[in-house]
Amino acid sequence: MGAMKKTATRTETSPETGTDTDTTADTETAAGMRADADADMGRDAGTDAGSSTDAGARARTGRAERAARAGAAVSAGRLAGKTALVTGGSRGIGRGIAERLGRDGALVAVHYGTNEAAAKETVAAIERSGGSAFAIGAELGRPGDARALWSAFDAHADGLDILVNNAGIGTSRPFADTDEAEFDRLFAVNAKAPYFITQLALERLRDGGRIINISSGVSHAAVLPDIMTYAMTKGALDVFTRNLSKVLGPRGITVNAVAPGIVDTDVNAAWLRGEENREAREGAAAMSALGRVGTVEDIADVVAFLAAPDGRWVTGQWIDATGGSLA
């Protein structure tokens, strides 16, 4: 349902967007900034140069110690030693998922289609939280896209444990206005690309691994019939999920689909945010049984559960993460 937006998105853009926030890290960073400010104020007031130097040194030491603690927490996370790939990880739900898996200890490959700068920002955010990540580019929906993606991945990592097929594009054209070019483009990016990315992943994906496909609530309910073609691509992804779980079960690999509803992201910002869009936001919130619009964290947490050891006995499932919008 995250495809409910006014214009189509780029390949690297998942149906939703946003970032996670580490409250502890933010608090500690603020403390470090105050220490730096105190040191600067001392110098400006003409205080002893040695005292200013000492204050600056203490601030730098404090930041180093906080970074070390964050790194230690990540290295002890439940995904420590695992490698994950998130397609469309430069923005949207993809970025939120990448950041969450990074905080849980995984080395994260952040895939992007065309927006390299956004991917590098996501990598930097993961690293600031003490995690490890790298960016890889491959524009999906083109011939050879899956091979190009894995060629870029192989230059950075040896083997895979978690694959999140998140990249997707949407449409705002109703059934009567959809032409063959748009139909083919939607299926190429949203259904064909994850199919062949996953096929080529199997020689890299270790036994006991995880495959998580980002679907949509619209694949199970005709709540937005004007985006029928998009819904059909997600329906294909759901069928792929169920059948692939049987194919890979003997290797202990779980395969599941997570279906977001309407999520507050920069893709949806044009009609969800701002005082002028209050009515649209209230209408979107009313669709959820919980009375609010979803957040990126809401979806990333579900994915994190499936990626972790806790999700070992769940496979072949379509998980409703719409906040009860389909209830």
Which positions are annotated as active-site residues? 215-216, 230, 234
Cross-strand pairs, 289: none
Decide the pairing of beta strands 107-112 and 83-86: parallel
CA distance 220 to 233: 12
Fill in the amino acid letter for 8.
A
**Residue 13: which of 5, 21, 23 has the closest Cα?**
5
Q: Provide the 3-class DSSP secondary structure of residue 266.
A: coil
Q: What is the CA radius of gyration of the chain?
A: 21
Distances (CA, A) of 35 to 32, 83, 108, 129: 5, 36, 32, 20
CA distance 31 to 62: 9
Fill in the amino acid letter for 274.
G
- Contact criterion met (CB below 8 Å) for 261 and 252: no
Alpha carbon dihedral 185, 187, 189, 193, in 10-degree steps, equals -130
Distances (CA, A) of 92 to 11, 34, 52, 133, 267: 12, 32, 43, 17, 8
What one-character DSSP code corresponds to residue 17?
Answer: B
- Contact criterion met (CB below 8 Å) for 132 and 57: no
Decide the pairing of beta strands 318-321 and 160-165: unpaired
Q: How many residues does the chain have?
A: 327
User: How far from each other are the two terminal CA atoms of the chain, in whole angstroms?
Assistant: 14
Tokens 């009313």 locate to 286
